[in-house]
Structure 1
């Protein structure tokens, strides 16, 4: 009977050994995997980094070690915070470590596995540094409870707040005065001044002023927050971080500016030489436009357009040469902008290039220029502007008509001013008179009507042509010169009224008689009627 309990014990012992072997064979990889996936955790106390845990201690992960250390720190009494932090070495499970404690209370431990290989610090040095950081954090927490420290910090913070509010008000006041003064200056300038563009970009000017004011406000707020945080022991690390960030940013910008000075100087020199060369070309084109320089193929009408094209080529070449020397020109931001502008140019270039090339055709063909009286399809008027994309003209109704250059190139252009010169623009009107009226009399009446019409020039003298000898009438066309093409409609109206008065005065009917049957006598003018008034005897036909 005694063998049964013995067998039971042996069976239980064998089962326990098998379970241990199974757990050892399966648990080792799990522990190794957990160790491989450990994440470091940093102990912060009152915004101060104390130490970073990177290994486990008695099965506790770094996160658990941080939580337990904070729980111990929260149990410290006010009188304990002023006591020194002691460092004691120890060894556990073959791992060397350092104990940080205040009196008999252990705050946390630093192990060899917590050391950063890149810092190359020994365990003792890491322990002393952690103790120093811990001592400073506890001292700050202790000083935060002193009433005088709080009162001093609050007083200085109130003073800094008042100064910051005063600076914000002064910045806003100065920005408002500057914007008002600029608005007065812009409104006082006439349309031909250099600031005429600002009238259309006034909203942009206001937005730039607001951005400048916002930037200054942010700087004042940043400095105020940095100063206030640094006045209290607990938040002093945050103020130090803001200060370090500001000075680090300034240092980075300063170092970058100093490093970019040679390349930036080179770019400025290239642009300066480009401007000097462009100014020299500008003087040349100015002399050509004034007639002081004669260049084959360069006409006064095309000097301005040629100057603009050369301007674009010179500046494009200068910017292309200076571009690699501009700081950050090879950065991803500049590359992205280049791709965006290229994409926009590709999408909108078809129509724009067509209009630009049509504008060049108009300019270099010298088909029209500003001030010419032209007839373009359904539009008749004076050209007021020849632009790169379109041409503007003012018609006889005093309406401004904008015509795309591509449309102008595709339509015939009648320019009444190009060959007029000092003689003025030529206008004409037609009448048909029967064969029974002497042509000399018709000529004299038409010329008399033209001489009595305001707006028509006496010299050169008006003249008449007989355009055709039709079946039933003779077609006469009166030509006269005028100085103001836009007044063509009222001048022609007055001329037509004077023609009617002249013909009615001398009994000549403005009508083309269509005969139903041939009359008995030939419809002719006898020689004695060739010089009927107001025609002068033996007057020769008028010449142009």
Structure 2
């Protein structure tokens, strides 16, 4: 899969790099004979990629640029026989200036005067003229050498051999990269999702990109070496080859020297980070013991151990990185400073809401309002806490839906936690009914308590109890309280309790007045016993019967 992808994408990428390198060389070479400006008042004479001399003075009204163009025209006009002759130097004086003329036989090429010398170089006029003559003589010999057929044949032959070797290396790099990637892919596919390779599956796209970049880098390196070798095989382009070689070795030297100079600072930074990790591991062992109950610290509760551990970890690593940062190479460079300013600006713009959520999360954790596994009522959401994160809390409601609530929203609303106090006495649950004034309250208490005692999931001890919450216009409001051990089963237990309450009140003919009547009907609104299991309901064994009940009171 990745091998095909590499084959499709990398040739285009290599072509791009090749085009960029070609444009670079084209700009470097320009025409075979060119004059390059150094400063507005300077002009440098180049001949076949070789710098000959830099002219700075205006001589007899001729600017340095014009003098360079005139010198190039004279050099180009030299016959082939004169190119191999020695260059002669002849002093002259003009406009009260001392100069030296460079010529071959009767052909004057150009002249150098005192004003052309670089004051910072501190070199005599004779030495500058001799150096320019040597450079020009070398360039002329290269032109003559290039015209020899054997030199061309040898250069072309070596270039073809180098091209064949470069193509072979490119093919081998491609095949090796594809083989290694296919091997990794097979290793990952051979392991199940539950193994430690599951992260490798998620990062497979990154692995592909890294393989492509590595292959492109190797291809570009081979192309660079090939180009350097080929240019050095021809006398005219030999300076370009030398320049590319010098650039490569200079780059390697800079990297090597920089790495050697950075070793002490890197070692110091690694030691600091190692000590930071060791201290953080020690803190981790302490919090692990606190989580397991082997260590007790005042103010550190089981619900806040994880959050405190995370905060301490962030503080420790923050201090460690802050201490190690100055020892990182180039940490004081403008690039690092620019990145710091950019990240600070981004953090300033986007941190207001995030910090609010983070602080709200800390309030939730350290107030111990809820924890993972608690059954809570958040108003519109009732369910089990599955995760208390730094920015939000996740609740799984009774419909098995995951609800994500921002921590700032939770902090601003009341939280009912049915699991927090479910200790030795269990969690308290309650339900309300309204019964008419014509039913004795003692009978109502007995019926509600009997229904609670028959409900699975409610505890026998402490015993259920009933409060009369209010005296309305047509009925009395009763509330039954009972304890349960498993708060997560609150909804099904309440459903069973409501069913038992209906059975108990129907058994004794007591009317539940929760529906509001305009007027009292002639008979009590109850479900007859023989209709309790009307279709499609199924008969249930062990239900309460009027004859077996010990409840006091009479029908209301």
Corresponding residue number in structure 2 for 1:463: 464
CA distance in 1, matches of 2:400, 2:363: 27
TM (normalized to structure 1)? 0.79
Alignment of 1:116-131 (within 5 A): 116-131=118-133
**How far apart are 1:349 and its partner, in Å?**
2.1
Maintained 8 Å contact 1:356/1:389: yes
Maintained 8 Å contact 2:425/2:483: no
Maintained 8 Å contact 2:422/2:485: no
Mapped pair 1:344 → 2:361: no
Corresponding residue number in structure 1 for 2:336: 334
CA distance in 1, matches of 2:504, 2:551: 19
1:479-517: CA deviations, max 9, x gaps? 3536472x5545544554454455545655444697969
* 2:549 aligned to which of 518, 523, 535: 535
Secondary structure of 2:46's counterpart equals strand
Secondary structure of 1:126's counterpart equals helix
**How far apart are 1:210 and its partner, in Å?**
3.2
**How far apart are 1:183 and its partner, in Å?**
5.3
* 2:79 aligned to which of 73, 77, 80: 77
- Residues 327/162 of structure 1: CA separation in 2 closer, same or farther (3 Å cut): same
Corresponding residue number in structure 1 for 2:539: none
* 1:367 aligned to which of 366, 369, 394: 369
CA distance in 1, matches of 2:390, 2:207: 27
Secondary structure of 2:404's counterpart equals strand
Mapped pair 1:266 → 2:271: no
TM (normalized to structure 2)? 0.78
What RMSD in Å do the two structures reach over aligned CA positions?
A: 3.3
Secondary structure of 2:41's counterpart equals coil
CA distance in 1, matches of 2:381, 2:190: 38
CA distance in 2, matches of 1:320, 1:73: 64
Alignment of 1:337-416 (within 5 A): 337-416=339-418
Identify the range of structure 1 (339-348 vs 467-476) with the bigger mean alpha-carbon deviation. Answer: 467-476
Secondary structure of 1:292's counterpart equals coil
Secondary structure of 1:298's counterpart equals coil
* 2:113 aligned to which of 111, 122, 139: 111
- Residues 343/159 of structure 1: CA separation in 2 closer, same or farther (3 Å cut): same
Mapped pair 1:475 → 2:478: yes
Mapped pair 1:450 → 2:464: no
CA distance in 2, matches of 1:360, 1:421: 25
- Residues 514/144 of structure 1: CA separation in 2 closer, same or farther (3 Å cut): closer
Please list every run of 5 or more consecutive structure 2 residues that lacks an aligned counterpart in the other structure. 1-38, 523-544
Maintained 8 Å contact 1:441/1:535: no
CA distance in 2, matches of 1:423, 1:266: 58
Corresponding residue number in structure 2 for 1:285: 287
CA distance in 2, matches of 1:192, 1:267: 36
Corresponding residue number in structure 2 for 1:25: none
CA distance in 1, matches of 2:364, 2:67: 84
Please list every run of 5 or more consecutive structure 1 residues that lacks an aligned counterpart in the other structure. 1-36, 520-530, 539-544
Count of residue pairs the alignment pairs up: 486
CA distance in 1, matches of 2:451, 2:45: 111
1:449-492: CA deviations, max 9, x gaps? 513xxxx367768835244464534625263536472x554554
CA distance in 1, matches of 2:231, 2:423: 82
- Residues 416/174 of structure 1: CA separation in 2 closer, same or farther (3 Å cut): farther
* 2:53 aligned to which of 51, 65, 76: 51
Mapped pair 1:228 → 2:233: no
**How far apart are 1:214 and its partner, in Å?**
3.0
CA distance in 1, matches of 2:101, 2:361: 87
Identify the range of structure 1 (228-237 vs 75-84) with the bigger mean alpha-carbon deviation. Answer: 75-84
- Residues 395/424 of structure 1: CA separation in 2 closer, same or farther (3 Å cut): farther
- Residues 185/445 of structure 1: CA separation in 2 closer, same or farther (3 Å cut): farther
CA distance in 1, matches of 2:425, 2:182: 52
**Structure with max Cα Rg:** 1
CA distance in 2, matches of 1:510, 1:176: 79
Maintained 8 Å contact 1:446/1:478: no
Corresponding residue number in structure 2 for 1:306: 308
CA distance in 2, matches of 1:279, 1:510: 63
- Residues 113/297 of structure 1: CA separation in 2 closer, same or farther (3 Å cut): same
CA distance in 2, matches of 1:276, 1:506: 73
CA distance in 1, matches of 2:311, 2:139: 70
**How far apart are 1:172 and its partner, in Å?**
3.8
Maintained 8 Å contact 2:88/2:104: yes
Corresponding residue number in structure 2 for 1:240: 242
* 1:320 aligned to which of 322, 337, 342: 322
**How far apart are 1:211 and its partner, in Å?**
3.1
CA distance in 1, matches of 2:54, 2:470: 115
